Amino acid sequence: MAVQWVLVCHGLVTLVVVISFLCGQWPIFQGTPIQRIHHFLTYGAYDYFLRFIGVVFGTKGTNAILSIEYFCCDRPNPILQLIYVGILGGTYYFIAKSSFSYIPGYYLSGIHRYTSLVAVAVGVLLFFLSSFSDPGTIKAENVSQYLSSYPYDNIIYSEKECSTCQIPKPARSKHCSICNRCVARFDHHCGWMNNCIGERNNRYFMAFLLWHLLICIYGSVALGLVLAGRVKELRVVHILTVYYGIEKDFKSLAPHVVQWLLGAYNTQILLMVFLAIVSLLLAGFFSYHAKLCLTNTTTNETFKWQEYISWQKKLHEAKASAEALKASISEMSSEKKPSQSKWKAFFRRSPLEEVEVVTKNNVYDRGFFHNLCEIIFPFSTRSSFSRTKLKNG
């Protein structure tokens, strides 16, 4: 049983590290160990690595690493796209090589040989749509339509000009420093797609996440049914109970069945665990972006709102502190004022406790149905968009 516990511990550690690396910056993990592990993996470890290179190889070594970082992180490149293709193709290859010989089986029909291939093909199609479709590039020819479609809220967006593109900057847009273009309803730049996620291709990105979540669930369940079918077909439970005298109950049989599966079908188990872990990651990522879509918010706007609310809270706290200080000075300097009851002074609210609560006022949230339609049918794909002209005055 020691081997099984080692595998379980290894899986849990791997899960924590992967989640921390990919999702540690999400607002839900703020102030948690997940965020601290993410900071170490993305900044701390890299900083120590740079120092080590500087000590061993000097300035030339450090500059070489920084050049590689610039190419990988600050310029468009297909590295993560190739990694995605490798992961998808490699996973499908190992599943086909290790498990297709058992299909059809006790629980799975032969059609799953073909449905799995179709599922992967659809996933690749959605990947290409997300990667190579226009995210909603703003140009001089269409900027007036975007200005009309996305009015300024004068809270986190106000009228300004893009200093790089030298055109007016519509609300909800952002100039992507990696792609070097302004993108309408900018969400984020996705390295896996080597493309920005914006107004026009957010629907493909969401479909990509949902489909790959379903593929991973389908793959892990199918592999589980393959293993269950092998246990049934080879009469493992019968052999354990009749020939080895194991009691016929789950608590007694489970460790022996698992041990047998780990010895005979370790490849399938590793693939099943891998797909299950990826399913959890995709479920969290898809749920986060689905919530953003249904509230008509983008990832970029989430951080903008956090900065705005934090700034407003500090501003209100500063005003409350000034009022409290002013009241204290006034009480100390007032000599003719009759002494106040100790009980009244004790229960009197401090001005610091009356700080105004700052709330998020998203003017772009127009309800579930309209928000969903804006994702599925972006403004720039509608016939009315080309006829829209910016109203002056």
Give the 3-state secondary structure of residue 115: helix
Is the alpha carbon torsion for 232, 236, 237, 242 positive or negative? positive
Using alpha carbons, list the distances in angstroms from residue 61 to 1, 43, 72, 73: 47, 18, 17, 18
First to last CA, the chain: 77
Tell me the backbone φ, ψ of residue 188, rounded to 5 degrees: -165, 165
Q: Which two tokens stand for residue 122?
A: 């659809």
Give the 3-state secondary structure of residue 196: strand
Catalytic residue numbers read 190
Distance of CA 232 to the CA centre of its chain: 40
Cβ(295)–Cβ(365) under 8 Å? yes
The Cα–Cα gap between 358 and 299 comes to 20
Which residue's structure tokens are 């516990």? 5
